[in-house]
Structure 1
């Protein structure tokens, strides 16, 4: 009798978990579909406007023409080659700049002397536009890959640095009073208190840093490059190949969105403890 009761309770729990899981999956599917509604409406209006010649095909080609060009470039292998080069540049620049931004953000956030020594200079450098330093990077590092990766690294550095620093300094001081009562060591305060509390800001910095890396990639590929999606766009512009320009722009948009979604996935996994307003 007791075993039957236990089995019955387990079955009820299992069915309840299945219902919750189904509701969660349905909600995620609904959110995914909603995200496509506006783009599909815009594409439909755009296609119809091009079909009935309400807009110039040279200035704004139809989505169907852009898709055809994408298939042709992909089939020829040209697009794959440019995309591979751009991905390596973006990832290399982001790893270098983002890694340094995170490291220095942690050092400055934890140490007031480091803040007073380093932060004023970094804040001054942060305000210099990326395009303004391109001539210097060409003079210092030439037209090779080093100058391009370093330019992307410059763009990726500051969002992660600033948000890491602000995240650490924004930890509620009341939490330290609790840590004192619990007799936390300095290491426990850092790992169990400061870093988890600063994690939302750090992940936000990661998202902004990845986005900036993609923006800096375009500027980097203007520096005498003969390969990459940015070069493909500039080359197509010279020959008025608007469809190729749109293919390049859409590629940047898609990969930017994918990288942002990847970080958002980490946010959902790592910040489950947060109780946020859902709208």
Structure 2
């Protein structure tokens, strides 16, 4: 029995290109400049702010007719289904398929499946795609933009990470959550915490500022999530964690010096194996000084403003 194979399609803004590829590397161990990626690794597409859909491949062939022959095996009985062609845009080096042609191909495949077609509320959604000279058919899962609903929080800072960046950073830090304990010891209003908790990541928060901790707790509760957020400096962390996420504090109300940045990284080195740091400053020398090594990095841009995302072990 062969391993499962999945095809992921992506949508990302030009400014998010590097961050998207960094998330790919964390999830799959590889990346691509393309908007489509194949992997045997199964990721819920709703975890990523960039993945548009995921096709779990059931059948493949060099010709479209080979796909239609294979789908004759599918017997859904009275269950409902619909079939969707993924070639709505250029995918890698494969051209877009026009609207009328897509509808025609969808009907051809649909006629071979034993089941009840339902275009509005199907129990099963199948998809197919032409990619690099081959055809693939399988179960289709669309991404839900969960992060989008987290944009309007009861408490917000103008300098906080966007929900899309925060979600990607959480995925980069904890791509495979099972058995992983994480901490955000400078959590601010909890933007990263909300995204991580909504994905089932085992993470706790902490911040030295009592007011923002209270705001963080309210933000978490607002979305029906449960998470622990403590008040206190990073120096008070006593447990060990598999990974730490640090969005280096900065804004008009948090004047952090280079020495304070260094101290935060030193403290993290004490209780964690891996740290993902988001910073507007170049702090490579600090990271090396405390014994971490940068194993991956990217720049997340928003217009003329940019942040560095560093994975350190």
Query: TM-score, with normalisation over the residues of structure 1?
Result: 0.21
State the structure with more CA Rg.
1
Query: TM-score, with normalisation over the residues of structure 2?
Result: 0.19
Q: Which has the higher helix share?
A: 1
